Each structure stands twice: as structure tokens, then as C-alpha cells.
A and B are shown apart, each in its own frame.
Chain A
Amino acid sequence: MEILVCVKQVPDMESKFNIDTSGTWYDETDLAYRMNEYDEFAVEQAVLVKEKLRGDTSVADTSVTVLSIGPERVKDVIKKALSMGCDRGVHIKDEQYQARDPMENASIIASFAKDKGFDLIFTGLQSQDRGSAQTGIIVARVLEMRCVTTVVGFELENDVITAKRELDGGLKAGFRTRTPAVITCQMGLNKPRYPTLPNIIKAKKKELTTIEADTMATAERMVETDALFHPEKKGAGLVLEGEINDQADKLISILREKTGVIK
């Protein structure tokens, strides 16, 4: 069985973001990067499938390929995925990563995947940085694969997938489908493992190919970013700073004055 996992590297959400001179991106100096949280669930699920099929003689060897698009630094998340148990990495080197829209990214992934016969493609539900929640689904459309999104439960029996989708307000919906399929993973699907040292060492020796993105983006850019900016503080609320006890006293008097709930 061939499995593809698509992961994205995103800046840590606790970072202080400063807008760069282009006005459409942020200054990348001193930023910490990590694997998009949702993609960690995707990697874990792919590895779980592989581990489950290990020893099942009716299935050919399962191999998990992890792919990421972006500048040189995204190799770090590929390596993390390899150390979590993926077998080979593909870095699609792209210097236009700041401008690509989901349709372009999906076309890059599809160009890579189209002749590889992947039975399963796992992606995160969305990225933490832009949160479009489109790429995985478009990949499925391009490759004419079935697609289940927002998955919080996944079982595979031969080629039958039993998946649980998370809807809103805690409601879940069960689906049954078959491979080949794209699965977009939601928080709660699994608990991503912490890589062991032997696996980190092994990961260093695993195949990691780099491909240039330019020829692979077959789609036109349809959505353009005009600006990236800090939202205005609409609330214009009162800011309390200083010593904790003073802050608490002030807050209590404000609550007494403005709300009816504190006597």
C-alpha cells in the first residue's frame, strides 16, 4: 500500500508577527517554526496504518511518503515526519510559497502524486497559518479520489475505510468509503507520537528528494493576497497592567460598576 502525507511548516502561533515591507507577508527573523498541528495527526495516522499492516502478508509492503512545499527550512518538518515513521521525504522547493493559493498548492501535490498510485493521502484539515481548509480536497478532486474531511476516527479494513467526521457542536457523522481516498485530519483523531532517538537517527538516512516547484504548479493563481495586517482592536477595551493585586482590585471595582453579577 502506498500512502502520501502532506505536511506544512508554519510559524509557531505564539510568535510576535511583524509585517514585512511587502505588506503581504511577515518578517521571518527570529521566528520559530513547527509542523502544522493538524498535519501531525495526518502523519501519525499514516504511520498507524503502516504499523497495522506490517505483518499482514496479504498486503504488499506499505510505504509512507511525506511531502512538503516551501523553502529550504521546511525540510525540518519532513525530517520530523520521517522520525515519526514515514519512509521517504519529498521536498518541493518553492520560493513563491508566500503567494501560492490553495489551488496552486493542490496542483503541485497532484502533479507529484498523479502517477504514483497512492491508495491513501493524509493531510491536515487546514493549516494554522492561513486556515483555508481547501488543499486536501482539491488534491482529491484533481486526482479523482474520494475525500473525507475533518476526520476524528479512522479504520481501514482491506480497502474499506470507516471514518468519523466531526461536524459542528460536537456532532459526529460516520462514513464508509473505499481507497483510494484523501483524508483530512482533525484534532482528536489520534495522539501524535514523540519520535524515539533510534528513529531520529534512522530518519537522517532516509531518502529525501528535492524537486523544484516551478514546473509542477499547473493551476493558475486565482486568489491574490493584497495585504497582511494586524487587526484593529475593535473592542478598544481597558488594559490593566502592573502589580497583580492592584490589577485584581481594579478589575473587581470595574465589574461592580459595569456588570450586575458581582456584589
Chain B
Amino acid sequence: MKALIVGEYRNGETLECTYELIAFAKKLGAETAMFMVGGQDDPPKYDGKLYMADSAKYGEVNPDVHTKLLLDVAHQENPDYVILSHSSYGWDLAPRISFDLKAGQVSEVVDIDDGSFVLPAFNGKLHRKVTSKTGITVVTVQSGSLNMTEQPSGTPEMTLVGGEDIETGMEFTGYEEVESAGADLTKADVIVSAGRGIGKQDNISVIQELADAIGGELAATRPVVDAGWTDHSRQVGTSGQTVSPKLYVACGISGAIQHLAGMKKSEFIVAINTDIDAPIGEVADVFVVADIKQFAPALSAKLKRA
């Protein structure tokens, strides 16, 4: 069994998720080769064959061009699996190649179960087990779903690919960083995080008060940030910051997989939610079944008194 891993490279660096893919392929029990559009002077730590295309020439995120390069390598390698990260890069590239490879694609894999893949569905409330019926399968892996035991190491056996100009109908015009004026959550010991369950913007102050009472930083989920209830610098999850504090208090957070991926490494997780079936329960050490709007003020008051 053979897997072609698609590494990710951004702003001149190999992304962490690349190493998760290696671990995933190992768990799958496949031999691996890797494809990456990156910098050949700074290849990922990897023991194996690496097909490297130059990001200076082909760009870091140009889908059309990367599709063409990857398809060439895939045809050459003829793998059983092409493995990508379920990231903006991976979920964009995967269907483009699966269509050409006539491969079944399984997205957002969080687990492998006897040749089948486990995928979250319905915001993580349910899981779905699926099997690909095609000879070649394209897989996107949810970041943070595997416990990586080994530190990445090794030096790849690098083959440079590409060289010719590739025509593209899409022109990359540059990156735009979000100004993150605020908090560096990655350094916080305690994070108190607000989800959609807080109901309305007003209640951010209730959560902030709880954060103050415990002595932690305020954080939020994507929907809360998108609603403009707090700023993006406080967002935890795959499209925000990945955090690992000593205590994470999830307030009215149901636990979408994208959020879990950003906080599950916290040492101790407290979830406060009315719905005991909420997927946040999967990672919570303590699950308080209560309405956060009522519980947070009660807890703050007691902490202040203590």
C-alpha cells in the first residue's frame, strides 16, 4: 500500500499539518512519498521520497498550477492514497485531483477504522463511517485528530519537479494578514472561551467577567468572532489560534471540530452547555449541564467571594 502525502508550505515555512499527514499515513500502514510546492533549500524533516516543486515559481497557494503538478506526480507514483490536510489548501486541492484521478474522496477524516474512515458530521454531533470503492482514494485529514507521538525527523530524498511554465486562469495577488491587535492566547494559562450559546453580544461581558474572576484570557469561537461580538485575535480553532492552556473553560460552545482542533490539547477542559450531547463533551474533563447565561454570573460571584 502506497500513500502520496501532500505537504503544505506557507509564508516560507513547512506547516505543522504536514507532519500530521506522515503520522496518519503510518497509522494507515502505507509506504509514503511526499509532494510539496515549497522551498528546496528548506525541505520538511522527512525520511522518504519528496517531489519538490519550487514555490517561488509556482506560488504557495495557486490551485490550478498545484493541481497540474500534483497530478503529474500522482500518475508517476500511482499511489493507493493521496493524503492532504483538511485545510483551506487541502480541501481546495483534493477534489480537483480526485476528479481527474477518478478517485473517491473522503473529507475531514478524524479516525481510521479497519479500512474505513471516520468523518465528523452535523457539526461533530454524529460521526460517519465511509468506505471508498475506488482503487485510488483521496483523503483529507482533520488537523489535530491524531495524537502525534514522534517528533518529525529525517532528510528527504528530493526530486525536483516542474520547471516548465504552467498556464493558469487564476492569478495570485498577494496575502493579507488579519491585524491581530489583541491577545496572544497561546501563552495564556487560563482561557475562558465564548461560543454561540452565549446568545448575544451583551453576554460577552458576562464571559469576560468570568475570565477576570478566574484570571484568564477571553477567547471565542468562529461564529462569535464572525458575528462581530469580539475581535479575531481572540478566535480559537483552525481558522484562529491553536491553544494549550492549563485550563480551558468552554462557555456555550457546542464543539465544532474546527474549534476542538484548536483547543483539545488544553490540560483541563471544562464545558458549560445546556446540551449534554454537544460534541464538546468528547474532550471535556468536566461537563456542567447549565445555561451559561445563568451559570457564568453565579460562578464569577463565588470565585470573587473566595
Contacts and interface: CB of A to CB of B under 8 A. Distances in A.
The answer to A–B direct touch (Cβ < 8 A) is: yes
Interface of A: 11, 13-17, 19, 26, 101-103, 126, 128-134, 137-138, 141-142, 146-150, 162, 164-178, 187-188, 221-235, 237-241, 244-245, 247-249, 251-252, 254-255, 258-262
A46 B246 CA distance: 45
Given A170-B235, A174-B172, A149 B92 contact: yes
B214 interface: yes
Given A168-B87, A222-B132, 11 more contacts: A17-B122, A149-B63, A164-B176, A167-B61, A170-B240, A174-B174, A228-B129, A238-B285, A240-B287, A247-B288, A258-B285
Interface in B90-134: 91-92, 94-96, 98-100, 102-108, 116, 119-134
A222 B133 contact: yes
B294 interface: yes
A130 B100 CA distance: 23
B53 interface: no
Given A172-B176, A237-B281, A259-B247, A245 B96 contact: no
Contacts of A240: 286-290
Interface string B118-155: 01111111111111111000000000000000000000
Interface in B225-257: 226, 232, 235, 238-241, 246-247, 254
Given A134-B98, A146-B169, A173 B174 contact: yes
B88 A221 contact: no
B164 interface: no
A131 B61 contact: no
Contacts of A254: 286
Nearest to B288: A240
B283 interface: yes
A231 to B, nearest CB: 5
Contact of B94 (A19, A134, A148, A237): A134
A261 B303 CA distance: 12
B295 A169 contact: no
A191 to B, nearest CB: 10
Contacts of B247: 255, 259, 261-262
Contacts of B269: 235, 237
Interface of B: 10-11, 61, 63-64, 86-89, 91-92, 94-96, 98-100, 102-108, 116, 119-134, 169-178, 180, 189-190, 214-216, 222-223, 226, 232, 235, 238-241, 246-247, 254, 267-271, 275-277, 279, 281-290, 294-295, 298-299, 302-303, 306
Given A101-B104, A134-B107, A141-B96, A170 B232 contact: yes
Contacts of A149: 63, 88, 91-92
A187 B222 contact: yes
Nearest to A260: B246
Given A134-B95, A174-B172, A225-B129, A234 B134 contact: no
Given A138-B99, A226-B130, A240-B289, A259 B176 contact: no
B61 A178 contact: no
A71 to B, nearest CB: 18
A173 B175 contact: yes
A18 to B, nearest CB: 10
B237 to A, nearest CB: 10
Given A167-B61, A177-B171, A240-B289, A138 B126 contact: no
A252 B170 contact: no
A216 B283 CA distance: 43
Contact of B281 (A130, A233, A241, A244): A233
A172 B239 CA distance: 11
B93 to A, nearest CB: 9
Nearest to B60: A173
Contacts of B277: 16, 230
Contacts of A137: 92, 95-96, 99
6 contacts: A174-B172, A226-B130, A234-B282, A235-B284, A238-B285, A247-B289
Nearest to B178: A170
Contacts of B267: 259
A227 B86 CA distance: 21
Contacts of A162: 173
